[in-house]
Every structure is written in C-alpha cells, then in structure tokens.
C-alpha cells in the first residue's frame, strides 16, 4: 500500500495564500488575517508521513525523545500523518477505528503560550476539525470538548496528551486528530455512532486536499491563540484594546450543545455523573452547566457530555 500524496509544508502555505486568506478576510481585516497566519505557520511546518503506524502518539513520543537526547530544540507544530493506525486509541483507552481512507494526524505543539490562553487549545483543535468537515459540504457541529459530529454521528475526534521533556523540561502537547473521510465501513459497535464525510456529502474526497485544508485550519486557529495572547498582553500594559475571544466565539458558533439536556462525566460512557442543561461557555473556556436535580450551576473544564434530548 503506497503512501497517500499528503501535503508538503509549502503546499499548505500555498493553499493559505490562494484560498484561506481571502476566506478569513471576510471576518477580519486582511493585515490582521496575515498576522494570524504568520503566528500559526508552525502548524505543519514539518510533516512526517507513514503508510501505517500503531499509534501516532507513540511515534510523536519517539521523535520527542530523539530530539531531547540530542539536546536539540523540537520544531513546534511538527505533524505526523499515517494512512492507517493499527492500534488507535481515544479517550480512556477506547478503541479508535482508523483504517485507510481517513485522516489520522498527530501534531506536537511546544507550549509557550500563557496558561489562560493555552487552556483554549482543545477548543481550537475542535474548531479546526469542524471547519474542515464543513469546508467539504458536511453540516457538522462541535460538542464538548471537541467531538465533531453530524446529528449525533461522530465524524472527527481529538485526543490530547501532555508530557515534559526529560532534558529540556519543555511542555509538549500532543494533539491527535482523526477524521473519517472515505472510510465507509465501521465495526458493528460503531453502527449508528460514526459516519464518514464521503458518505455524508455523497462523493469520495481527495485525502491530500482534506489534509491540506485541515492543516490550514490549524494554522489559523493556533494563530488566533497567539493573537489572543498578544491582545491580552497589550491590555495588561493598559493599552486601549478591547479583548476579543476569537476561539470562544467561533466554538459557540459551531456548537449545538447550548440549551441541551446532557449527561456529564469525566468518562461519561462508563461513569456518568449527573444530568444537566448546558447554559453556555465561560470566558475562560469552561462549560457552564445547570444540575437538573437541584438547579446548582457549575463550570466544568474537562470531561465529556452525551446528549439526552
């Protein structure tokens, strides 16, 4: 099985210049759009492709160890793309079906953001994946924290892990993103729970093009986090700039969670904790919920929800 024609970093930047800058300029002034893309250009600046891997996360850890042992700085935004994963895992070691025909990506982000900004990275990753799915005509929504689904059927999922360099002490955030694209056959346990983009939009898709678009979307959304940090630092210096919550606002636009009756839990499938109504998203990225049993309002910063309505 040959390796799919995944994009080179220059192809991602060409795609941004040809299409994404114009798309985003409908929302922000073009000079600011270009600034965001410069900030986010680390995403996919180095790309490693493989025909098959057991887990992209494991390969990322090996690459980090290699750089650490040599005392070299790791290139933040390095991406690992595999045609298939034979031992893919999701949250809580759940099996992740990752055959040929999907996009299976791991990105290594060397975290140098302020804590209050970096905690928005899971939301930014969900927005990037959801935007790509929508770019190809699939009416997807994002569900807390960053599951991308169409009417309850999961199209894309994200797993994030954090580790610290053994020599450098750097904080590495591993972002695993899986998109069901052309992989139409799912195991029985996923029947009715998962869907592929091709089936939903009625045509087979070019995996290289989908991967290019996904990396461009990550460039944008990671760049927005750096812009967010710039504005917060400027505000701290008493400059008269209005704080803008780009990622939070976009996540709100793409989510169908608000007002829904849900079951919340940190491992909601095995250990559901309580039923609640989703009230909104706090300015620090937390999910505001109202307990249905006693009307107590709480804010959660992790976990997951299942829709009950």
Q: What is the pLDDT of residues 259-280, one digit of tens each?
A: 999 999 998 988 999 999 999 9
Q: What value does the mean pLDDT of the chain take? A: 93
Does residue 57 share a domain with residue 192?
yes
Contact partners, residue 212, CB within 8 Å, separation at least 6 = 7, 11, 12, 15
Place of tokens 């891997």: 53
How many Cβ atoms from other residues are within 10 Å of residue 274's Cβ? Answer: 15
Q: In total, how many domains does the chain have?
A: 2
Per the domain annotation, does 265 fall within a domain?
yes
Residue 89 has pLDDT above 70, yes or no: no
The answer to whether position 212 is within a domain reads: yes
CATH code (residue 284): 2.30.30.140
Whether 65 and 201 map to the same domain: the answer is yes
89 vs 137, which has greater pLDDT? 137
Residue 213: inside a domain, yes or no?
Answer: yes
Residue 247 within any structural domain of the chain = no
Q: What are phi and psi of 297, to 5 degrees?
A: -100, 130
User: What's the CATH number where 143 sits?
Assistant: 3.30.930.10
Residue 240 is assigned to a structural domain of this protein: no
The predicted-structure confidence for 153-201, as pLDDT tens digits, reads as follows 999 999 999 999 999 999 999 999 999 999 988 988 888 899 999 999 9
> Does residue 189 sit within a domain?
yes
Looking at the fold, whether 230 and 265 belong to one and the same domain comes out as no
Could you tell me the residue range of the domain that residue 13 belongs to?
9-235
Q: 54 with 171, same domain? A: yes
**pTM over cut 0.75:** yes
Q: How far apart are CA 160 and CA 64, in angstroms?
A: 16
| pLDDT exceeds 60 at position 59 | yes
């Amino acid at each position: 099985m040959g390796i799919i024609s995944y994009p080179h970093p220059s192809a991602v930047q060409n795609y941004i210049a040809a299409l994404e800058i114009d798309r985003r300029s409908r929302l922000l002034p073009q000079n600011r759009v270009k600034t965001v893309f410069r900030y986010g250009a680390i995403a996919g600046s180095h790309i490693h492709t493989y025909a098959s891997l057991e887990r992209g996360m494991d390969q990322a850890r090996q690459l980090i160890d290699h750089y650490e042992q040599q005392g070299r700085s790791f290139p933040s935004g390095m991406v690992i793309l595999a045609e298939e994963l034979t031992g893919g895992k999701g949250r809580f070691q759940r099996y992740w079906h990752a055959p040929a025909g999907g996009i299976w990506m791991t990105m290594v982000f060397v975290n140098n953001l302020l804590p209050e900004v970096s905690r928005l990275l899971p939301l930014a990753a969900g927005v990037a994946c959801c935007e790509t799915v929508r770019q190809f005509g699939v009416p997807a929504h994002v569900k807390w924290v960053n599951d991308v689904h169409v009417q309850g059927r999961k199209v894309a999922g994200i797993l994030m892990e954090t580790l610290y360099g053994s020599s450098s002490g750097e904080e590495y955030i591993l972002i695993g993103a899986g998109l069901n694209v052309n992989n139409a056959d799912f195991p029985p346990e996923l029947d009715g729970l998962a869907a592929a983009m091709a089936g939903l939009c009625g045509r087979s898709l070019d995996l290289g093009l989908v991967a290019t678009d996904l990396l461009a979307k990550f460039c944008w959304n990671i760049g927005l986090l750096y812009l967010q940090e710039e504005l917060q630092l400027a505000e701290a210096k008493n400059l008269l700039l209005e704080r803008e919550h780009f990622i939070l606002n976009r996540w709100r636009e793409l989510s169908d969670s608000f007002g829904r009756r849900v079951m919340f839990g940190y491992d909601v499938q095995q250990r559901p904790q309580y039923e609640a109504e989703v009230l909104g998203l706090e300015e620090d990225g937390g999910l505001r919920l109202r307990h249905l049993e006693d009307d107590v309002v709480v804010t959660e910063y992790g976990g997951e929800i299942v829709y009950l309505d």
